[in-house]
């Protein structure tokens, strides 16, 4: 029997929020899992996921969840993923595969290497490039990963069959997988995800300083509404992302400030032709991005 038709066994998801809950929903719909175990701190959230049929049962104990899983998914903020690594070394069965969904790979991999010891070859760093500004199991969507990329960053020590199993899981969830070295991942995601969130989070306090703040908020639509939407994302998650990918993000902030400075100079000098050329080049690049991806209503992380 070909692997795509085999069961993935028991999948334990530690952190049943948007990503963990959506993965559970997608795997449930795929018919490829025997059991889905959820783990988290909020009984209300876990009960909600259970009522939705996303989970077969749940526990507050990550060691209990991990010890039962054929695939163990860490879908918590990065600081929690790092904190869970020593527990995973003790709890994982020898054949089990551990993976994660963290938006920064370098810090997580360093923690895994120092904590997992004999289990390290069974760890497959991963990151689905998909998301929403919403959080919790109530935001879960079975099609969240449909036609989206999931980046896998295995190390030289990573078992090939572990990579195959995690790849199989994401394909069952509707995603496309791509291998990428961890440092390149952190640089790329810094540009396409982390910096845009920085911009959105910086816009909101600027809005708060405006004398006509109430009018700005009432009339906010179109461009401002779209670009600021991701400022509704989980503050804990984004705190961790910026702390763990700080050097990359700070370098990009500096370059972005340089771009804004150049635009400021063009406006100051009233250089219409160069402003128009700038905007035309930006539009051309944006249109090229649009042509490279499947049509989706919401595509950000």
Could you give the percent of the chain with pLDDT greater than 90?
83
Which residue did the predictor score with more confidence, 289 or 20? Answer: 20
- pLDDT of res. 298: 45
In which band, very low, low, confident or very high, does the pLDDT at 124 lie, cut at 50, 70 and 90? Answer: very high
Task: Output the DSSP codes for 239-277.
Answer: HHHHHHTHHHHHHHHHHHHHHHHHHHHHHHTT-HHHHHH
Q: What are 284's two structure tokens?
A: 């051309």
In which band, very low, low, confident or very high, does the pLDDT at 128 lie, cut at 50, 70 and 90? Answer: very high
Q: What is the CATH number of domain 185-291?
A: 1.10.3660.10
Q: Decide if 3-180 and 185-291 have a common fold.
A: no
- pLDDT of res. 272: 96
Phi, psi (5° rounding) for residue 35? -145, 140
- pLDDT of res. 290: 84
In which band, very low, low, confident or very high, does the pLDDT at 48 lie, cut at 50, 70 and 90? Answer: very high
pLDDT at 295 over 80: no
- pLDDT of res. 64: 97
Question: Mean of the pLDDT values across residues 44-57?
Answer: 94
| β-pair partners for 124 | 99
- pLDDT of res. 127: 98
State the average pLDDT for the chain.
92
Task: Output the DSSP codes for 43-73.
Answer: HHHHHHHHHTTS-SEEES-HHHHHHH-SEEE
Fold of 3-180: Rossmann fold (3.40.50)
Q: Are 54 and 24 in contact (CB under 8 A)?
A: yes
In which band, very low, low, confident or very high, does the pLDDT at 131 lie, cut at 50, 70 and 90? Answer: confident
Could you give the percent of the chain with pLDDT greater than 70?
95
Cα 242 off chain centre by: 13
- pLDDT of res. 25: 96
Q: Which tens digit of pLDDT belongs to each residue from 157-180? A: 999 999 999 999 999 999 999 999
- pLDDT of res. 3: 45
Which residue did the predictor score with more confidence, 110 or 226? Answer: 110
Phi, psi (5° rounding) for residue 273? -60, -40
Q: Which tens digit of pLDDT belongs to each residue from 244-286? A: 999 999 999 999 999 999 999 999 999 999 999 999 999 999 9
Give the Cα separation of 205 and 207 in Å (integer): 5
pLDDT at 289 over 80: yes
Question: Mean of the pLDDT values across residues 49-61?
Answer: 95
In which band, very low, low, confident or very high, does the pLDDT at 1 lie, cut at 50, 70 and 90? Answer: very low
Q: Give domain limits for the chain.
A: 3-180, 185-291
- pLDDT of res. 294: 64
Closest by Cα among 11, 9, 16 to 60:
16
């Amino acid at each position: 029997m070909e692997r795509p038709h085999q069961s993935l066994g028991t999948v334990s998801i530690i952190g049943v929020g948007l990503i963990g809950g959506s993965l559970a929903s997608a795997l449930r719909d795929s018919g490829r899992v025997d059991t889905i175990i959820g783990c988290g701190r909020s009984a209300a959230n876990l009960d909600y996921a259970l009522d939705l049929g996303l989970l077969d049962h749940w526990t507050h104990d990550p060691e209990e969840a991990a010890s039962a899983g054929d695939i163990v998914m860490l879908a918590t903020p990065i600081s929690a993923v790092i904190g869970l690594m020593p527990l995973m070394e003790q709890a994982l069965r020898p054949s089990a595969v551990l993976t994660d969904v963290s938006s920064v790979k370098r810090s997580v991999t360093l923690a895994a290497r120092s904590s997992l010891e004999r289990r390290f070859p069974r760890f497959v760093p991963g990151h689905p490039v998909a998301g929403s500004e919403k959080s919790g199991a109530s935001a879960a969507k079975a099609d969240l990963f449909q036609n989206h990329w999931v980046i896998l960053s295995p190390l030289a020590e990573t078992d090939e069959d572990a990579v195959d199993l995690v790849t199989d899981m994401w394909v069952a969830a509707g995603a496309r997988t791509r291998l990428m070295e961890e440092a390149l991942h952190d640089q790329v995601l810094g540009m396409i995800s982390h910096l845009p969130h920085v911009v959105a989070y910086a816009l909101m306090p600027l809005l708060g300083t405006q004398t006509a703040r109430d009018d700005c908020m009432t009339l906010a639509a179109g461009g401002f509404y779209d670009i600021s939407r991701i400022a509704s994302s989980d503050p804990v998650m984004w705190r961790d992302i910026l702390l763990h990918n700080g050097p990359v993000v700070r370098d990009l902030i500096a370059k972005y400030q340089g771009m804004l400075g150049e635009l400021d100079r063009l406006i100051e000098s009233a250089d219409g032709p160069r402003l128009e050329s700038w905007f035309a080049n930006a539009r051309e690049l944006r249109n090229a991005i649009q042509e490279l991806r499947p049509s989706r209503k919401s595509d950000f992380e």
